[in-house]
Chain A
């Protein structure tokens, strides 16, 4: 019994997309997940259709990994207006947010569902990209610039596997793609637009709890190849700081191990399998620390590393 995949979101007209979102739900395959999306929020349909147009549709009447919904609600508090309520299987995990933020709410909500539920994977808090058949993982805490860096690498020929989740099946060292629109925040939006003038962005959403957010559409190729795993080769721990001098320094494996462990969503949960998988990842890779302020320089440095590493 395999899910029926007939076409892509972009094959549907805007009316059909809205109709399904408001009706029985629109099924979409994202990496290893089949997600059923229902939405009744005005600000959602068009950006969703645009950013997700390459993704395969999963027809209704299948088993889904999760069912998420965005509902339009009118409220008096904190301020009279329209809000969007995110729910997964009828459970509302956080407070309602202004309805203009619908797309961001969907993206964060889906991240939450994945992080809470999908414990069959080891999930690193990392961007993952592939070049020459090998994977680069960028494990980092929020605010370290990994999303911007991964968006930039994706614009320079790297295949995007994820900007947020380094997904592995325990006992393996190959990453599973789970490409998604990449959320840029505040100044990074301008920085990326300068870096890649033709960049396709979702709506610019102000006043979210993370500031102004805009999502980069993942490259079509990354979505079309979202079933292709990539074996790990480089673990690069990035840190952006204004005025920083560019440096890419190889670090000892033990340091790589501890940094990975502190950048994993569910290392503790997986117990022995988690330990062994992280150990194997470190043994299969070279570990680096990357400090940078210039996006161009960082992209060039990392790409150079990949192209010259014949190990």
Chain B
């Protein structure tokens, strides 16, 4: 994304029932049957897919949820979350919903 998306844009993950997860310790492997792709995901990505984006959320709310319990979120953190969501969207794991 070259610019921050309009605030009312929401993101939603593919329903968890459409994904297969395998967890070993902190490592999560996700299989997406529709695409046939397998992803080794980091903590934040796994949280986005399983929990945070289970219902439509704006970027700010999603970043807030990921930052919860750790350091205060800042603009840089939000940009990183935005990039992660964009990548997940390109992979077809997350979809954009117009506000």
* Bound CA span A180–B27, Å: 37
Task: Among B20, B24, B33, B38, point to the contact of A253 (Cβ < 8 A).
Answer: B24
A223 within 8 A of B: no
- CB of B20 within 8 A of CB of A261, answer no
- CB of A254 within 8 A of CB of B36, answer no
- CB of A268 within 8 A of CB of B25, answer no
* Bound CA span A292–B35, Å: 39
* Bound CA span A111–B36, Å: 25
- With a CB–CB cut-off of 8 A, which chain A residues contact B40? 254, 258
- With a CB–CB cut-off of 8 A, which chain B residues contact A261? 38
* Bound CA span A252–B26, Å: 10
B77 within 8 A of A: no
- CB of A252 within 8 A of CB of B25, answer yes
* Bound CA span A279–B29, Å: 9
Q: Whole-angstrom distance from the CB of B91 to the nearest CB of chain A?
A: 15
Q: Which of B13-45 contact A (CB under 8 A)?
A: 20, 22, 24-25, 27, 29, 31, 33, 36, 38, 40
Task: Among A252, A268, A271, A272, point to the contact of B24 (Cβ < 8 A).
Answer: A252
- CB of A275 within 8 A of CB of B24, answer no
Q: Which of A208-262 contact B (CB under 8 A)?
A: 252-255, 257-258, 261
- CB of B24 within 8 A of CB of A254, answer yes
- CB of B27 within 8 A of CB of A252, answer yes
Interface string of A174-205 (1 = CB under 8 A from B): 00000000000000000000000000000000
- With a CB–CB cut-off of 8 A, which chain B residues contact A279? 22, 29
Q: Whole-angstrom distance from the CB of A256 to the nearest CB of chain B?
A: 9
- CB of A257 within 8 A of CB of B36, answer no
Q: Whole-angstrom distance from the CB of B60 to the nearest CB of chain A?
A: 31
Task: Among B20, B25, B27, point to the contact of A272 (Cβ < 8 A).
Answer: B20
* Bound CA span A78–B40, Å: 47
- CB of B22 within 8 A of CB of A271, answer no
- CB of B20 within 8 A of CB of A271, answer no
Most buried by B among A257, A275, A276: A275
With CB as the reference atom, state the residue of chain B lying closest to A280: B22
- CB of A257 within 8 A of CB of B22, answer yes
Q: Whole-angstrom distance from the CB of B43 to the nearest CB of chain A?
A: 13
- CB of B33 within 8 A of CB of A271, answer yes
* Bound CA span A268–B35, Å: 10
The 6 lowest CB-CB distance pairs between A and B, nearest first, are A254-B27, A253-B24, A275-B31, A254-B24, A279-B22, A271-B36
Residues of B with Cβ closer than 8 Å to A? 20, 22, 24-25, 27, 29, 31, 33, 36, 38, 40
Residues of A with Cβ closer than 8 Å to B? 252-255, 257-258, 261, 267-268, 271-272, 275-276, 279, 282
In the complex, besides A258-B29, A271-B36, A275-B31, 18 extra interface pairs with C-beta distance below 8 angstroms are A252-B24, A253-B24, A253-B25, A253-B27, A254-B24, A254-B27, A254-B40, A255-B27, A257-B22, A257-B29, A261-B38, A268-B36, A272-B31, A272-B33, A276-B20, A279-B22, A279-B29, A282-B24
13 CB-based A-B contacts, threshold 8 Å: A253-B25, A254-B24, A254-B27, A257-B24, A258-B29, A261-B38, A268-B36, A271-B33, A272-B20, A272-B31, A275-B22, A275-B31, A279-B29
